[in-house]
Each structure stands twice: as C-alpha cells, then as structure tokens.
C-alpha cells in the first residue's frame, strides 16, 4: 500500500465530471477528489486540542492508582456537592430562624411560613417517623394513624408538640406521655369469662354490636375496673392516654377477639422523645406537619388542656 | 506513516478562505432584497417593543416568552406550558412552510430570509460604506498594513461589533419586559444570564456575519443539503442559460462574426456580484443561495450591450429543457404552482386552520384533580370514610374569578378544605381564583360509613357572567373495595 501510494503520487488529473483535481493516488481504480477542508476547521481542531491540555491541567483528569490528578483548580464533585449543600442550608437559614422565633400557634398566620414549615416537617417525617407511622402517616396496628381525628394524647398543636418533644413512655424523660393499663387477664384480675363479657360491652359502646346478656354483665365489670381511665361513658381520657372506646378507630383492632386480647395482655406502645435527637425547629416543623394532615384539632375548640404539665414549650392559650 | 517522503506535488489538505468582495448591484432583485431586509430586521428589532393591553394582571408586551412564569404571549394569544402543542404546531407549520416555499421558489429562504444571509448582506454593505466597492476592497486587502488600513479596519470592525451587540441585545427583549429589561441591563442589575446571552449572540453575530459569511452556508449549515434534496425539475432555481450564452465571446467578436458566439461576454459581473463568490455559469451548486443578485448584474450588462435580459434567470429544469429545444420561455408565475406545491399548501393550510380552530375552541377554565393514594382512604372516629384530593382550579382569564366546585354523585358525600373547618363540610365550596393562575385546593371528601369504593365527579362552575366550567371523574376509595 505504501509503495502503491508513492508510485501513483504524481498521477494528478482533472476529473471530467466535476472539474475538480484528483489527489493523485488510486487504489483499484478508486481515486479521491481534492476538495480541501476549510482551514478554519483545522484551526478549531487545534483549539480544542489546546483546550484539552488546559482542561487536564485545571481539572482532575489523569487516573492514578487510587485517585486522579487533582488539577490546579482544586475542583471535585464532592467539593461541589458540599458547596451546594452549604448554599442550600444558607438559603433555608432565614426561614428556620423565623420559624424558631415564631410561637408555634402563630405560624399559621403566616401562610408562606406555614407552607415551608409543613414541607420541612414532611421531609423530617420521611426520615424519622415513617418507620412506625408509614410514609402516608396512616400507621398500622399498634401505630397510630396521624391523618384521622382520633388522638390518644390530644390533637392540637401544643399537644402534638408535647408528644414529639417527650415521646410516649420514654424512659428517663420526666415529662413523657405515660400511663399503664393493667393486663387484666395475664395478671389474674379478671377471669376469661369476665373479659369476654367486658369486651362484649365495649363493642356496644361504639355501636359495633347490639347489647345482649354478655354485654349487660360486662357493663358492671366495666364500671368496676375501667371507668377510672376510660370514663363512665367510655369516651376515654387524653390526660392518661386512655383511648375513646365509643368511636370507630381501634389502635389494636376492633374485633371481639382483638379487644379480648387487649384486655387480657394490655398494650403499652412507645414512641421516642425527640428532644435531643432532633433540633427544636425540626420538631416544631414536625408538629405543624402532623397537624396539617387533616385531623389536627383547632386550639380553641380542644377541651381544656391540663395545666399540670409545663415543659416551657407550651404556648399561652389566650388568643 | 503512509507517505514517508511527502511529495512536493501533494495538494494541501486544508484551504484558506478566499475572501469574497461582492460588487454592489442595482436591480429589481436587489430592491426586493432591500425590502426583505427592512421587513425582517424591522420585525426582529421592533417586535419586543410592541405593547398589547391585557389588563392589570398580566404583562402588556405583545410578544413575550415569559420563561420565569411559564407563559408565552403572542398578541391576543396566551399559551400555557401544557398547551405547548400550539407552539409545536407552529414549528411544524414553519417546517412545512419551508417545504412549500422550496418546492415553489427553490432556495428562497437561503437567498432572502435566512438570518445568515440578511446579516451577511448588512455587513457587506458596511464593508462598502467603509472601504468602498469591490475594487477598493480588493486594493485595501492587498495593501500592506499601515495607518490608513488599520484605521479603516478598526472603524469597520467597530461597526460590526455595534450591529452584533444590538442583535444580541434585541434577542433578550423577547424574554422579559423590554423597557424594564433595558433599564436594568444598562444599570447593571439585569440577570447574569441576560449579559451572557447578549455576549454569546454578539460574538456569534460578529464572527458569522463579519468573517465566516459564505463558509457558514457552504460548510456549516445542514439546510442547503436538505434543500437540494427537496428540489426537483419543477423547482425554480437561478440558472445560467448556457444554450444562449455559449460560446462566450466579446461584443467585438459578435460584430465581426455574427452567430459564432453566444450572448455571454464573459464580463464576470455575475461572479463579482455573488455574495458566496460562486460562478453560476458552472451550473447549480450548494454554494448558490439563489439570492438572484447575479440576475440583476447580468441584466444590467445585457441592457448596456442591447441584448434581451434573462441570460441568467429564475427557471425550472423542465423549462430549461423546453427552451434549449427552442421553445418559448414560460412565465415564472406558472412555475409556482404544481402538484407538490399544492399538496404542501393544502397540508400547511389544514394545519393552520386546525390550530386556529383549536385555539378558538380551547377553554380558559379547567379543573384537575389528583387523589391522595397514601393512604387511599381514612376512617374517621365517627366511622365515616375520608379521601383527600388536591384539586387545581385553572383560570386563564386576565381577571380573578369566583368559582364553585361541587360533588356530583357519591351519595352523602361532603367536602371541606384545609382552610375551612370540618363543620362547614358541604356538597359544594367556593374559591376565588386569581387572574392567570392555577389555584390548588387541599380537599377532604367524607362519605358515610358503609360507602363503597366508587367513582364520582368534581364539577366546576364559574360564578360570573361569562360562566363556563368543567368536570373531572375521580375515584373514592373505601375499605372493602375492590382490593385496592
């Protein structure tokens, strides 16, 4: 091929069809017309070559054994991420500061601030709460649904905030939500027959079953053992986290068998206190988010909260 | 290496640009090109400054691509992002419009309306203004660098830069309110992207219009390749009528031996006036943008020597064959309409009418609903079932409107929003939607215990004189449904 090229180098001629000069080489009868590329193409090629040299110097480029040449600009994707994260945090700082300075019950007055707080609360919820309450905050058996209007410990902003700060049955937290339902069956307080009767009675409270002989017998047992916490009418007591038995929402199931099981063994669910785990503003945003899910109670309409507990975060009710 | 001994005879693989110094021409096509330049540049520079009153809530710029607010305004038309098919339709029409123009009058786009052509033409007039016409330009090019040449080059390039800057400057005016942007641009407070855009477009205009010129058409642009593929024997092209012109000879030769030479006197006026430096007498080529300036140049020469015009002229290849065989030239107007042209015209018009119809029939009010799927439904303590929806009310009018959303179907169903109390739950709710906005509502719908999973309809109604509305079918989930 090399010899062929050299041999035919001088065979330049004008191609008849196009009127263009040939390059003077020929392989098996195939010739090439001399239509030269514009010179600026070549210049651009060299410019890109020069650019690439500069790029290799400035940016990380040549792979080494464990890393790559760092480049004089000191750029790295990790560094860029850090910078972007810092910028994002700086962007949020003003909102967070404003939120920290605004009392919990006054956030809703600022629609923009509320929307941002709810969005921030949602993000924190997805990181910290979905493990028990589910990504839609719908809970499951034993883990309360936060969308509905049934609250064990109260559903206004302060009550939700208090639950978040100190948790439920959190050991070592003096202000944690706590109460203890006896295991009536396991501890031998009631017999299996009595438990069956009281369960029948409980079902009638919410209209889930019609009164019968068993439930009438259960009514007396209920009055003797349960009204202290659940109340004479069975509507529960939020101060001690005693659930309302007259509604249609059952944390541990509403079938007869499930109620018998609850009375026999009792349940004592726990939730961690988030004080110390999350910063105060995040906890505030979480309270606003949970309150926004559609079941949040209005502060004014809520039954008077007990003044017994003052953790310093509760806001005055006067408004 | 293939060739260890580079041969002295070897051609260069790269060619330096041969500068083109087109001579000024007068004539009908030149006049037409002036007109086209005036109109196209006028549209380009002037459009952003046209005002169009749309009321107090929306911008009053006649043509505005409002990327920040995701709106496209064009006189009486306002396009929202979800209606982008109108813009897509316009682009398709522009494409088919180019097919139509190409099949009727050949590369008219290249010759008259392409920005590269218009700006190159403008820059070549600047050359003539500063350096003089072709011969003076040639002399200056050959002259050594001295104070005179440096001064002229400096003036010329400064004018180039001015034009380039105004070109880039006009572009950004389409994307923001022009007077406001002008003020903020000169006070240094405009968005950096505005300065960057102006800088890039100034640079490209300066380089492409001032220096690259015909190189863009011949080497960079895909359009000449596409256009040449769309031309056929019925398309108008600029043609040298070789059967009439050849063999070339001077006027004296023609007087000495009548009939021995053709009409072409080889004066090279056609080549000298060509903005891409092409010799049309070599036949059609990608370098011929059909600007028709050679027709003007040749017609002027023919008039001077008393021969009929049209040695170089617009003609179709079919007509060329007829004329070569001795037939009479056909009027150009008859070449404009043939089957392909009419088909393109039909498709183009149908698209245009369809778009106009769709534009006229579109509704300026609408409702869209997204249902919460996690959780799909909620049981309230009363036993009732609650579903949550995000309802979006669209108001495309330039004024706030009071609207009513109501539940159609779902017996016993009531609703409230996250801004109203549950006690106020009702079959319908009202909301005032701001001008030119989508109002999102968080809506909770509640139905009595025992309600099964089913579909129902959200109905929207505007409560003003103009009225109108819409509806959308949604699902209501409930326990014991179909397994969802």
Residues B23-38 pLDDT 10s: 999 999 999 999 999 9
Element housing B43 (H / E):
helix B28-46
Confidence tier at B301 by pLDDT (50, 70, 90): very high
Position B481 scores a pLDDT of: 52
φ, ψ for residue B31 (rounded to 5)? -60, -40
Q: Kindly list the distances between the CA atom of residue B151 and the CA atoms of A182, A284, B140, B154, B161, in Å, as whole numbers in the listed order.
A: 103, 71, 12, 5, 15
Q: A161-176 pLDDT, tens per residue?
A: 999 999 999 999 999 9
How far is it, in rounded angstroms, from Cα B59 to Cα B44?
20
- Which residues, listed in sequence order, are joined to residue B15 by a DSSP beta bridge? A38
Domain stop point among B291, B320, B338: B338
Structure-token match 């209501």, residue found: B476
User: In B51-146, which residue ranges form alpha helices assigned H by DSSP?
Assistant: 85-105, 108, 115-131, 134-142
What number is the average pLDDT over the span B190-202? 95
* Mean pLDDT over the full length of chain B: 90
**Which of A9, A135, A248 lies nearest to residue B383, judging by beta carbons?**
A248
Which of chain B's residues have a Cβ under 8 Å away from the Cβ of A138?
374-375, 378
How far is the alpha carbon of A188 from chain B, nearest alpha carbon, in Å? 32
Q: Give the rounded percent of residues in chain B with a pLDDT score beyond 90.
A: 68
Q: Kindly list the distances between the CA atom of residue B172 and the CA atoms of B73, B178, B182, in Å, as whole numbers in the listed order.
A: 15, 8, 10
Residue B211 inside a domain? The answer is yes
The answer on B144 and B158 residing in a single domain is yes
* Closest of A77, A39, A274, A27 to residue A161, by C-alpha: A274
The answer on B290 and B220 residing in a single domain is no
Confidence tier at B404 by pLDDT (50, 70, 90): very high
CATH of the domain at B391: 2.60.40.10
Does the structure show a pLDDT above 70 at A313?
no
Residue B354 inside a domain? The answer is no
| CA angle centred on A158, ends A151 and A313, rounded to 5° | 145
Domain hosting B237: range is 231-338
Position B444 scores a pLDDT of: 94
The answer on B189 and B166 residing in a single domain is yes
Q: Give the rounded percent of residues in chain A with a pLDDT score beyond 90.
A: 71
Q: Kindly list the distances between the CA atom of residue B249 and the CA atoms of B198, B219, B303, in Å, as whole numbers in the listed order.
A: 52, 34, 17
Residue B387 inside a domain? The answer is yes
Residue B56 inside a domain? The answer is yes
The two structure tokens encoding residue B178: 């022009």
Question: Interface of chain A against chain B, CB under 8 Å?
Answer: 1-2, 5-6, 9-10, 12, 19, 21, 23-24, 34, 36-42, 134-138, 145, 147-150, 244, 247-249, 292, 294, 298
- Strand segments, DSSP code E, in B372-453 are 378-379, 385-395, 401-408, 414-417, 428-433, 437-447
Position A48 scores a pLDDT of: 97
Long-range contacts of B85-88 (CB under 8 A, 24+ apart): B86/B355, B86/B358, B86/B359
The answer on B372 and B462 residing in a single domain is yes
Q: Give the rounded percent of residues in chain A with a pLDDT score beyond 70.
A: 90
How far is it, in rounded angstroms, from Cα B482 to Cα B75?
51
Bridge-based pairing of strands B437-447 and A22-27 is unpaired
Which of chain B's residues have a Cβ under 8 Å away from the Cβ of A34?
11
What number is the average pLDDT over the span B448-459? 93
Q: Test A40 with B418 for CB contact under 8 angstroms.
A: no
Position A263 scores a pLDDT of: 94
Q: A213-226 pLDDT, tens per residue?
A: 999 999 999 999 99
- Which of A32, A36, A297 to mutate to test binding with chain B, by most B CBs within 10 Å of its CB? A36
Q: Test A249 with B12 for CB contact under 8 angstroms.
A: no
Q: Test B379 with A249 for CB contact under 8 angstroms.
A: yes
- Strand segments, DSSP code E, in B191-309 are 237-240
| 3-state SS, residue A1 | coil
Domain stop point among B166, B196, B229: B229
Confidence tier at A312 by pLDDT (50, 70, 90): very low
Structure-token match 């944390």, residue found: A251
| 3-state SS, residue A30 | strand
What number is the average pLDDT over the span A97-124? 94
Does the structure show a pLDDT above 80 at B289?
yes
DSSP states of A132-155 as a string?
A: HH-TTS--BTTB--SSSS--SS--
Cβ atoms of B478 and B453 closer than 8 Å? yes
Position A17 scores a pLDDT of: 82
How far is it, in rounded angstroms, from Cα B253 to Cα B248?
10
The answer on B206 and B283 residing in a single domain is no
Position B55 scores a pLDDT of: 85
* Closest of B293, B123, B294, B143 to residue B213, by C-alpha: B123
* Mean pLDDT over the full length of chain A: 87
How far is it, in rounded angstroms, from Cα B125 to Cα B115?
15
Which has the minimum average pLDDT: B40-44, B254-258, B387-391, B464-468? B254-258
Q: Which residue in chain B is spatially nearest to A24 when comparing CA positions? A: B10
φ, ψ for residue B102 (rounded to 5)? -65, -45
Structure-token match 């390059």, residue found: A23
DSSP letter assigned to residue B212: I
Residue B358 inside a domain? The answer is no
Query: Which CATH number fits the domain A95-175+271-291, given the four candidates 3.30.360.10, 1.10.760.10, 3.20.20.70, 2.60.40.10?
Result: 1.10.760.10
The answer on B62 and B165 residing in a single domain is yes
Q: A3-56 pLDDT, tens per residue?
A: 444 444 567 888 888 888 888 888 898 988 888 889 999 999 999 999 999 999
Q: Test B386 with A148 for CB contact under 8 angstroms.
A: yes
- Which of A12, A35, A39 to mutate to test binding with chain B, by most B CBs within 10 Å of its CB? A39
Confidence tier at B484 by pLDDT (50, 70, 90): very low
Distance of CA A232 to the CA centre of its chain: 39
Burial grade of B82 (CB within 10 A; 0-12, 13-18, 19 or more) = exposed
pTM, rounded to two decimals = 0.78
What number is the average pLDDT over the span A110-125? 94
Which has the minimum average pLDDT: A64-73, A182-191, B253-262, B287-296? B253-262
Number of domains in chain B: 3
Q: B435-447 pLDDT, tens per residue?
A: 999 999 999 999 9
The answer on B155 and B59 residing in a single domain is yes
Does the structure show a pLDDT above 90 at B46?
yes
Cβ atoms of A286 and A275 closer than 8 Å? no
Does the structure show a pLDDT above 50 at B425?
yes
How far is it, in rounded angstroms, from Cα A98 to Cα A277?
21
CATH topology of domain A192-265: Cytochrome Bc1 Complex; Chain D, domain 2 (1.10.760)
Q: Give the rounded percent of residues in chain B with a pLDDT score beyond 70.
A: 97
- Strand segments, DSSP code E, in chain A are 22-27, 30-33, 37-38
Q: Test B380 with A248 for CB contact under 8 angstroms.
A: yes
**Which of A5, A36, A294 lies nearest to residue B12, judging by beta carbons?**
A36
The answer on B244 and B186 residing in a single domain is no
Position B64 scores a pLDDT of: 95
Position B11 scores a pLDDT of: 56
* Closest of A299, A298, A297, A293 to residue A316, by C-alpha: A299
| 3-state SS, residue A301 | coil
Which of chain B's residues have a Cβ under 8 Å away from the Cβ of A37?
13-15
Domain stop point among B198, B229, B260: B229
- Which residues, listed in sequence order, are joined to residue B87 by a DSSP beta bridge? none
Interchain CB contacts (distance < 8 Å): A and B:
95
Position B157 scores a pLDDT of: 96
The answer on B32 and B44 residing in a single domain is yes
Whether residue B247 has a cis bond before it, omega within 30° of 0: yes
The answer on B170 and B113 residing in a single domain is yes
**Which of B212, B375, B449 lies nearest to residue A138, judging by beta carbons?**
B375
Q: Test B381 with A135 for CB contact under 8 angstroms.
A: no
How far is it, in rounded angstroms, from Cα A144 to Cα A1?
83
φ, ψ for residue B199 (rounded to 5)? -60, -45
Residue B349 inside a domain? The answer is no
Position B143 scores a pLDDT of: 92
Confidence tier at A151 by pLDDT (50, 70, 90): very high
Residue B263 inside a domain? The answer is yes
Residue B126 inside a domain? The answer is yes
What number is the average pLDDT over the span A249-258? 92
Element housing B419 (H / E):
none
The CATH 1.10.760.10 domain(s) of chain A lie at: 95-175+271-291, 192-265
The answer on B244 and B321 residing in a single domain is yes
The two structure tokens encoding residue B94: 């522009």
Position B3 scores a pLDDT of: 44
Q: Give the CA-trace dihedral at A57, A62, A65, A66, to 10 degrees.
A: 70
How far is it, in rounded angstroms, from Cα B386 to Cα B416?
11
Does the structure show a pLDDT above 90 at B259?
no
What number is the average pLDDT over the span B360-367? 92
φ, ψ for residue B16 (rounded to 5)? -70, 145
How far is the alpha carbon of A68 from chain B, nearest alpha carbon, in Å? 32
How far is it, in rounded angstroms, from Cα B106 to Cα B282?
18
Q: Test A148 with B219 for CB contact under 8 angstroms.
A: no
Element housing B155 (H / E):
helix B147-172
Structure-token match 């034993």, residue found: A142
Bridge-based pairing of strands B63-66 and B454-462 is unpaired
- Per-residue three-class SS string for B80-95: CHHHCHHHHHHHHHHH
Position A11 scores a pLDDT of: 74
What number is the average pLDDT over the span B91-107? 90
Q: Test A294 with B444 for CB contact under 8 angstroms.
A: yes
How far is it, in rounded angstroms, from Cα B188 to Cα B186?
5
Cβ atoms of B176 and B89 closer than 8 Å? no
């Amino acid at each position: 091929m090399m010899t062929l090229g050299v041999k035919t180098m001088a065979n330049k001629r004008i191609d008849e069809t196009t009127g263009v000069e040939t390059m003077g080489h020929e392989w098996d009868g195939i010739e090439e017309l001399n239509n030269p590329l514009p010179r600026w193409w070549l210049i651009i090629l060299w410019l890109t070559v020069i650019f690439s040299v500069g790029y290799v110097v400035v940016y990380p480029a040549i792979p080494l054994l464990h890393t790559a040449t760092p480049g004089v600009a000191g750029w790295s994707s990790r560094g860029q991420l850090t910078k972007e994260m810092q910028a994002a945090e700086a962007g949020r700082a003003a909102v967070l500061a404003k939120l920290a300075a605004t009392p919990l019950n006054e956030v809703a007055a600022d629609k923009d601030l509320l929307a941002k707080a709810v969005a921030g609360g949602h993000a924190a919820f997805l990181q910290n709460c979905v493990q028990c309450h589910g990504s839609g905050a719908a809970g499951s058996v034993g883990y309360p649904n936060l969308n509905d209007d049934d609250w064990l410990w109260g559903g206004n902003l302060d009550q939700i905030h208090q639950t978040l700060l100190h948790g439920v049955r959190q050991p070592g937290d003096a202000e944690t939500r706590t109460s203890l339902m006896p295991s009536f069956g396991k501890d031998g307080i009631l017999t299996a027959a009595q438990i069956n009767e009281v369960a029948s009675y409980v079902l009638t409270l919410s209209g889930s079953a019609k009164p019968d002989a068993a439930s009438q017998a259960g009514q007396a047992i209920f009055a003797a053992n349960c009204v202290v916490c659940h109340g004479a009418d069975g509507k529960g007591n939020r101060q001690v986290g005693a659930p309302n038995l007259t509604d249609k929402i059952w944390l541990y199931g509403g079938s007869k068998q499930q109620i018998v099981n609850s009375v026999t063994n009792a349940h004592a669910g726990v939730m961690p206190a988030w004080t110390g785990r999350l910063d105060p503003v995040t906890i505030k945003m979480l309270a606003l988010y949970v309150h926004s899910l559609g079941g949040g109670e209005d502060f004014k309409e809520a039954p008077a909260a007990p003044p017994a507990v003052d953790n310093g975060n509760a806001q005055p009710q006067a408004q | 290496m293939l060739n260890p001994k580079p041969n002295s005879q070897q051609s260069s693989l790269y060619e330096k640009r041969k500068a083109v110094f087109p001579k000024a021409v007068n004539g009908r096509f030149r006049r037409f090109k002036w007109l086209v330049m005036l109109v196209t540049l006028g549209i380009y520079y002037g459009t952003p400054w046209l005002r169009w009153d749309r009321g107090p809530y929306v911008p009053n710029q006649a043509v505005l691509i409002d990327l920040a607010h995701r709106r496209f305004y064009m006189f009486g038309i306002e396009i929202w992002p979800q209606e982008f098919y109108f813009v897509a339709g316009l682009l398709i029409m522009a494409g088919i419009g180019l097919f139509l123009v190409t099949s009727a009058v050949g590369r008219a786009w290249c010759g008259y309306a392409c920005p590269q052509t218009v700006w190159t033409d403008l820059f070549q007039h600047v050359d003539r203004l500063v350096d003089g016409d072709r011969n003076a330009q040639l002399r200056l090019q050959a002259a050594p660098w001295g104070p005179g040449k440096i001064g002229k080059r400096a003036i010329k390039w400064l004018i180039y830069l001015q034009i380039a800057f105004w070109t880039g400057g006009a572009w950004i005016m389409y994307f923001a309110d022009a007077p406001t942007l002008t003020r903020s641009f000169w006070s240094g407070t405009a968005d950096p992207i505005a300065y960057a855009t102006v800088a890039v477009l100034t640079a490209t205009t300066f380089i492409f219009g001032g220096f690259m010129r015909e190189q863009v058409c011949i080497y960079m642009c895909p359009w000449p390749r596409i256009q040449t593929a769309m031309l056929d024997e019925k398309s108008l092209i600029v043609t040298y009528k070789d059967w009439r012109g050849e063999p070339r000879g001077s006027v004296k030769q023609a007087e000495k031996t009548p009939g021995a030479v053709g009409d072409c006197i080889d004066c090279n006026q056609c080549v000298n006036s060509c903005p891409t430096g092409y010799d049309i007498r070599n036949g059609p080529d990608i370098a011929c943008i059909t600007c028709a300036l050679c027709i003007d140049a040749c017609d002027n020469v023919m008039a001077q020597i008393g021969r009929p015009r049209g040695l170089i002229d617009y003609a179709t290849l079919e007509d060329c064959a007829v004329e070569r065989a001795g037939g009479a030239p056909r009027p150009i107007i008859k070449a404009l309409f043939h089957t392909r042209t009419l088909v393109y015209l039909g498709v183009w018009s149908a698209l245009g009418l369809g778009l106009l119809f769709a534009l006229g029939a579109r509704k300026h009010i609408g409702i869209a609903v997204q249902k919460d799927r996690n959780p799909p439904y909620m049981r309230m303590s009363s036993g009732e079932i609650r579903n949550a929806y995000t309802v979006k009310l669209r108001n495309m009018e330039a004024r706030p409107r009071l609207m009513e959303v109501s539940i159609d179907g779902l017996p016993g169903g009531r609703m409230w929003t996250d801004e109203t109390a549950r006690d106020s739950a009702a079959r319908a709710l009202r909301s005032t939607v701001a001008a030119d906005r989508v109002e999102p509502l968080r809506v909770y719908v509640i139905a009595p215990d025992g309600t099964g999973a089913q579909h129902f309809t959200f109905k929207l109604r505007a409560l003003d004189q103009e009225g109108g509305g819409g509806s959308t079918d949604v699902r209501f989930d409930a326990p014991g449904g179909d397994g969802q």
